[in-house]
């Protein structure tokens, strides 16, 4: 369901990028329009999360303790890179 959901909303994402570019090049930033766009994005993200979380839970349940520890170390490394 997650992959299908993402594919179905591809056109929406492309429209969103065009809209975001419009905000960047505009003479005046339109906060109300940006807020509306962000609400649409957040709604789509919430829908994706509802479909994705069960898959993540299944994957997590399939990992051995050593694999979970390795994943934790990879997370720590990514965290240092993205949030120094």
In this structure, the chain runs to a length of: 84
User: What's residue 26's pLDDT?
Assistant: 95
The 10s digit of each residue's pLDDT in 34-80 is 999 999 889 888 888 888 899 999 999 999 999 999 999 999 999 99
Quick one: 82 exposed, middle or buried, by C-beta within 10 A (0-12, 13-18, 19+)? Answer: exposed
């Amino acid at each position: 369901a997650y992959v299908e959901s993402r594919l179905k909303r591809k056109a929406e994402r492309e429209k969103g990028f065009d809209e975001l570019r419009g905000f960047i090049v505009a003479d005046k930033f339109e906060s109300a329009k940006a807020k509306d766009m962000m609400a649409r994005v957040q709604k789509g993200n919430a829908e994706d999360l509802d479909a994705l979380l069960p898959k993540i839970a299944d994957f997590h349940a399939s990992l051995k303790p050593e694999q979970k520890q390795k994943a934790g170390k990879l997370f720590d490394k990514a965290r240092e890179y993205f949030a120094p």
